[in-house]
Every structure is written in C-alpha cells, then in structure tokens.
Amino acid sequence: MVNVFTMDAQIDEILRKNQLSVTGSRKRILELFLMSNGALAHGDIEKKTGEKFDRVTVYRTLQTFLEKGIIHNIPTADNSVLYALCKDDCSEGHHHDNHVHFICSECGKTICLADVTVPEVKLPGGFLPHEYQMVVTGLCKECR
C-alpha cells in the first residue's frame, strides 16, 4: 500500500511547497503522519522518534507544521493533543478532515476510520460551522 519511493518524494514536495528546509526530523515526523494515515498524539510521536530526536525538536517541528498548515490539531475532551495531516486541498486554514477518529483507551492508539464520515448535525441558528470533528474512544480490535 505504502510505496517508499513515492512517499519520500511526497515528503520532499510537501516541505518544499511550504518553504521549509528538508531536515531529518521533519522528514521522519512527516513520514510518521503519512504512514499512520491519521491522527497522532504528541506522545506517539515522541515514542516513535524518541531515540533519534530531542524532545524539543519534536515540539518545534509540530509547531512549525501547524503554522504552515501541514497538520492541524484535533481537540478532544480528555485533553489529549491530537495532530492530523491536512489533506492536499487543505490550503491554509481550510481543513477538510472529515472522517471519524478512534482512540483505544487501552493501548492508546489512534485509528483513522476513513470509511466513517462525520455526520453533519444541525446547529442552532447563528452558528456558522466550518469543520466537524468526531472522536470515539473505546477498545480496538486487539484490546477488546
């Protein structure tokens, strides 16, 4: 499914397009997002890059990606910070990440339910909706 060659090119392209120099940590973190194909908690990223990069670098890289609109953060009620890749057509500020995210409360993994689209609910008058986010917590296949 994931082709290393194309992904590597893709990573370069994303960084260049956003006028960011192509560095090890940026490539690695971006790679994680592309591979996970979904939302990542900061903790996940730290764990998976833990030995290679400094904690601070991860913070700063994510911050940079946020500012450039490469990723966006997903608010959750339990206050865990989630980040997800923006789609290509997600130009600055305009994010369309309209599938449901599942967080396993056992193993902590976040899974993108790409097939489950977020239902659009009716809002009371006056509110102008821009983006719908839905996060489901529970047990995943492995942990149930």
Partner DNA sequence: CACTGGCATGCAACTTTGTTGCAAAAAGAT
Partner DNA sequence: ATCTTTTTGCAACAAAGTTGCATGCCAGTG
Binding site for DNA (CB under 7 A): 20-26, 42-43, 52-57, 59-61, 63-64, 79, 81
- Verify binding: residue 64, a copy of itself, rule CB under 8 A: no
Residue 54, exposed/middle/buried by CB under 10 A (0-12, 13-18, 19+)?
Answer: exposed
DSSP letter, residue 76: -
Residue closer to a copy of itself by CB (options 23, 91) is 91
- Verify binding: residue 121, a copy of itself, rule CB under 8 A: yes
What is the nearest approach in angstroms of a copy of itself to the Cβ of residue 98? 11
Q: What is d(CA 78, CA 52) in angstroms, rounded to the nearest whole number?
A: 29
DSSP H or E run through 28:
helix 24-36
Report whether 25 contacts 57 (CB < 8 A).
Answer: yes
Q: Where on the chain is the footprint of a copy of itself (CB under 8 A)?
A: 72-79, 81, 97, 100-103, 105, 113, 115-116, 118-119, 121-124, 126-141, 144
